[in-house]
Structure 1
């Protein structure tokens, strides 16, 4: 479906005239982006690390960005890349705090009275709870940490990079929301429908 979309990109995004008698199409106004897009089928049974390894020939020796595609953010990608270049690391992951789902409170000394309460704070009240936000800046050398198709990117590669001081964290304190569940989907649709979608930058 994605390949078909880009194959017919001008049809989807431009104003066109169809001459049915001549079976011709004339593009009147092109609204296309100046992008070059490569789509690679990495297979259904390949793990996250294996998928990255399979596109190595297309990445070559360039620093590249990587995301899972199941989360939305107002992350400043340029700032993330600039941060990465100063770290002398092979990988920089974006550290985020989970959107709060529950009210967080602190119990007083008697354990029967609440001394503070915050409704749905970021990280559910734990200011030190940073997680992998799923956006990365990666050097090609990091692909050497991926063994084969069954390598999970978040396991051995990132663990080994962390153990050798080659994994940096860019702390993003802006908007971030995963879309892993129906609840997440509904939350994101509410943002979109209300006109408050922080990730919409166009």
Structure 2
């Protein structure tokens, strides 16, 4: 099952660093937060990634090209026609497809643009700026159990994210933007989607969190996987610093992998 990562938006400018690179490429513990998210999926055996890039998309492509070289033992042989020989590579067994989904494309439009890389198979999708210790295998098992088009991971969090009205059977009865007075589960990403989701996405201006999710909810096709563990997005410098502190202290709840 492929994993789609949304990493193409302008995002919030959380520091001077984010003026020069996409927010998913801002580092926590010396590695981009995008890498941390991918390590989480890889821990559960999901290694095929499609990255929806846009803003400064060349930075993402260059990073992965360098990552392969930097984690490999290489001989540069200039005596034999300028050959490069890779002896051993120590990077993860990842297949990474980086797609330029446009500079101003909205989230739904970005997902629609990578349809040809997904085909007719179910896939996972999450945002490129939030880490979580959700058990991906249990999430996928839950999705397969109910037969609906979409499953999202829901967490309790005091922040302006999309509000979910969840029924006792975990179906999402409605989806709307959060107000300052709300205290309810929110959409944390880490979704599992059937290929039928592409029928709900119309053009580059489509915002995935609005009409598509609202329509899925109204049709009874949106389910929630309740996660009571750790989740944290990185919308502000304070959140970035908190994640950095957790990582440096050796107490990073999202680090489910061994190495």
Alpha-carbon offset, residue 156 of structure 1: 0.4
Matched ranges for 1:38-57 at <5 A: 38-57=97-116
Q: Alignment partner of 1:86: what SS?
A: helix
Of the three residues 78, 82, 87, the one matched with 1:28 is 87
Mapped partners of 1:86, 1:79: distance in 2: 10
Mapped partners of 2:99, 2:196: distance in 1: 20
TM-score by length of 2: 0.63
Whether 1:13 aligns to 2:71 is yes
Over residues 110-137 of structure 1, what are the superposed CA-to-partner deviations in whole Å (9 max), with x where a residue is unaligned? xxxxxxxxxxxxxxxxxx6210002110
Alpha-carbon offset, residue 11 of structure 1: 1.2
Mapped partners of 2:68, 2:236: distance in 1: 33
Q: Alignment partner of 1:5: what SS?
A: helix
Residues 193 and 32 (structure 1), Cα distance of their counterparts in 2 relative to 1, 3 Å cut = closer
Match of 1:73 in 2: 132
The question of whether the paired residues in 2 share the 8 Å contact of 1:99 and 1:177 is answered with: no
Residues 190 and 9 (structure 1), Cα distance of their counterparts in 2 relative to 1, 3 Å cut = closer
Mapped partners of 2:196, 2:85: distance in 1: 46
Q: Which of 1 and 2 has greater Rg?
A: 1
Whether 1:3 aligns to 2:61 is yes
Of the three residues 202, 213, 216, the one matched with 1:158 is 213
Q: Please give the root-mean-square deviation of Cα atoms over the aligned residues, in Å.
A: 2.0
Match of 2:188 in 1: 133
Mapped partners of 1:154, 1:58: distance in 2: 22
Which structure 1 segments of 5+ residues have no match?
101-127
Alpha-carbon offset, residue 99 of structure 1: 6.6
Pick the structure with more strand per residue. 2
Mapped partners of 1:129, 1:31: distance in 2: 43
Matched ranges for 1:96-107 at <5 A: 96-98=155-157
Match of 1:104 in 2: none
Which structure 2 segments of 5+ residues have no match?
1-58, 160-182
The question of whether the paired residues in 2 share the 8 Å contact of 1:61 and 1:140 is answered with: yes
Over residues 88-113 of structure 1, what are the superposed CA-to-partner deviations in whole Å (9 max), with x where a residue is unaligned? 1101000011279xxxxxxxxxxxxx
Alpha-carbon offset, residue 18 of structure 1: 4.0
Q: Alignment partner of 2:95: what SS?
A: coil
Give the paired residue count.
176
